[in-house]
Structure 1
Amino acid sequence: MPDAVMLFAAGFGTRMGALIRDRPKPLVEVAGRALLDHALDQCARIPRRVVNAHYHAEQIEAHVAGLGIPVSIEKPEILDTGGGLRRALPLLGPGPVFTLNTDAVWRGPNPLHRLAAAWDPGTMDALLLCVPLFRAHGRQGGGDFTLDHGRLSRGGDMVYTGAQIVNPALLEGIEGDAFSISALWDKAQATDRMRGIPYCGHWCDVGHPGGIKVAEEMLRDV
């Protein structure tokens, strides 16, 4: 089981509109708590937690001050998820890591525990947690993948939840500073070392203003 998690909190969150005029998206509140805190709940037992930041980075730093969580600042340019992971590697340490987006809310079993139970470093370099489209609350648009006996292919009705385990060795050979985590998936898929598993609970995308109400309704249904 990986002992480090990367929490992606550096995005601009432009779909949030006026809600992020003076704060970063991870500090937008759902049910009275910041999105970042909802994400931190999921990885409370992971020894090493790292958050990245770019937009209003000082607010992210202040929010986690006193928690012993280092912040990987991306300046002057934002690095996207793949570049952000590469920048944070000195803080994360060696070996596979969890990564977790901070613009979602969960209802059900801990997603990282689900990933850890299915992780097999002998056959995998990337393991993505996906949820069926009908349980992807607040989702705008279709799915991301088809899941067939553990293997993923692009397109379909399975939505990537933003939670995964990935081997940072996949970063080797990728050029440029800013790039998406999907570049790592392409490499893992090319060697048949990319897998997926379904999430049995409920998940809500809070990347847009309408997702806040949907998430709060989902949480009230517990």
Structure 2
Amino acid sequence: MAARRQRLRLKKRTRRRLRGLGVVAVAAAGMWAAGNWSTVWPVLAVVLAAAVLGGSGWSVLRAHRRAVGQDRVWRAQEEARARELSMAEVDALSWQDFETCIAGLCRRDGCTDVVVSGKSGDLGADVVGRLADGRKLVVQCKKYAPHRSVPSQDMQKFVGTARLEHGADVALFVTTCRTFTKAAQELALRQDIVALHRDLLGSWVKGAHLETLVPLNGRGDGTRRRSSA
């Protein structure tokens, strides 16, 4: 479909150029018949030169745009590949080591008083600490297979305890899977939970600062539209 549209655009441009050259040719022929060739040929030469230069410039511009587009796609693919290489190491961790890894990322980004619970019955607080500005951070870590989605039940439990039980100023739900279910995502949006899916976690692992992730406020699965509920 894209190739067909491109061929149609090329045909239209070609027809426009031919029509323009036809007009010039007709005008030149008329002036030739009137015996004014000495006046016509300089103008005709200028018009033809402009047409050639315009066509060449357009070709160069198209080639530049195509190269920029290809470079942008290549960079996006390389960044995604780099995240996956880092996430392959994360995937090899046990759930306990995964929590320790998240705590390490928090410390790397300036968090203080970082503690790993590492036990059952922690009421959703796998990692707790304070951001550099003093706000209390509570993190729920879910190490799931990449193809899974975080269900709403997991998000409900975290929402119910993050602030009421632990007094979180910033509640962060981080997972190794790629998505949150729609219900889980909508709940995160309503309750101002920072929901980090696999791709954003990969960016964090690769060096993105936690302070740049916190403002996402529930948009961790890429959704940019807040729920109206």
TM-score between both structures, scaled by the size of structure 2: 0.25
Greater RCO, CA 8 A, separation 6+ = 1
TM-score between both structures, scaled by the size of structure 1: 0.26
Q: By percentage of residues, which structure has more strand?
A: 1
Q: By percentage of residues, which structure has more helix?
A: 2
